[in-house]
Chain A
């Protein structure tokens, strides 16, 4: 509810006569041509909104968020590379577990074989 303090005239004091004169000067009418120009703007905005492509929905929104086809392709490539590398690593670990030894131990039998042939050569 408006109170007397909401009324600007309440605090105009010595300036009241000036404010009153200025208030009376400008009619609150629209100048000629203004409404037409504004409605032309409104129609142009409506037309551009209608001609704009529809907003993306569902997977197209998701694709857009990834950065389009280029982004999605790059991401898929990274995923495939990560999977491949991860699989190789997992395969190596599994082989190690299966053999019950580590990589360094693979050299030992070979060394033993060499020693065997060295021994054989010395005996012959």
Chain B
């Protein structure tokens, strides 16, 4: 039977089947989780190519763990999120050590000439502001606002208490608001838009 991202099989079941040599199960898992991993990594790193590397590496680690996976012990999705998050933070730290900044060398914050729309500019402004957040604040914001994770889920992923996550999120949002405050008029966002 062909499997796709919509397959009703549980992640644990698919992983068990992959460990037994079922390539279709690997495909279903990649289709189910790959896009989410890429989105998280892209928002963390602001670099599409690095984001793909992170997602591929995360799934590779899943394949390697399949043989020893204990069903029900750790959900596949939270496990993947945790691995991808750690890889992103490592990548950001290496970037900082190499260049002194965490932003990618190829600046992608500026919108292209073609998308002069206010929406694209707002998105670019947000990415620019996100790039200035410390890695853990950035991760909390990305998981909360772009991956729709609840605070307890983020706490589990980041190995923190829920209170610590709430604090990270509050500080992150404050830092974003401060950094974006000066852009409101420029982006035609008067108070009525908020």
Q: Counting CB contacts under 8 A, is B76 at the interface?
A: no
Q: How far is the CB of A46 from chain B (nearest CB, A)?
A: 6
A45–B64 CB distance below 8 A:
yes
B23–A46 CB distance below 8 A:
yes
Q: Counting CB contacts under 8 A, is B165 at the interface?
A: no
Interface-facing stretch out of B25-33, B79-87, B90-98: B25-33
A17–B56 CB distance below 8 A:
no
Interface of B is mostly: helix
Interface-facing stretch out of A28-36, A78-86, A95-103: A28-36
Bound CA–CA A30/B43 (angstroms): 15
Q: How far is the CB of A49 from chain B (nearest CB, A)?
A: 6
Interface residues on B, range: 35 or more
Q: Name the A residues within 8 Å of B180 (CB-CB).
A: 15, 18
Q: Name the B residues within 8 Å of A11 (CB-CB).
A: 169, 173
Interface size of A by CB at 8 A reads 34
Q: Counting CB contacts under 8 A, is B67 at the interface?
A: yes
A42–B23 CB distance below 8 A:
yes
| Chain B residues packing against A (C-beta within 8 Å) | 18, 21, 23, 26-27, 30-31, 34-36, 38-39, 42-43, 48, 52, 55-56, 59-60, 63-64, 66-67, 118-120, 122-123, 125-127, 129, 144-146, 148, 150, 169, 173, 176-177, 180, 189, 193-194
| Chain A residues packing against B (C-beta within 8 Å) | 6-8, 11-19, 21-26, 28-31, 34-35, 37-39, 41-43, 45-46, 49-50
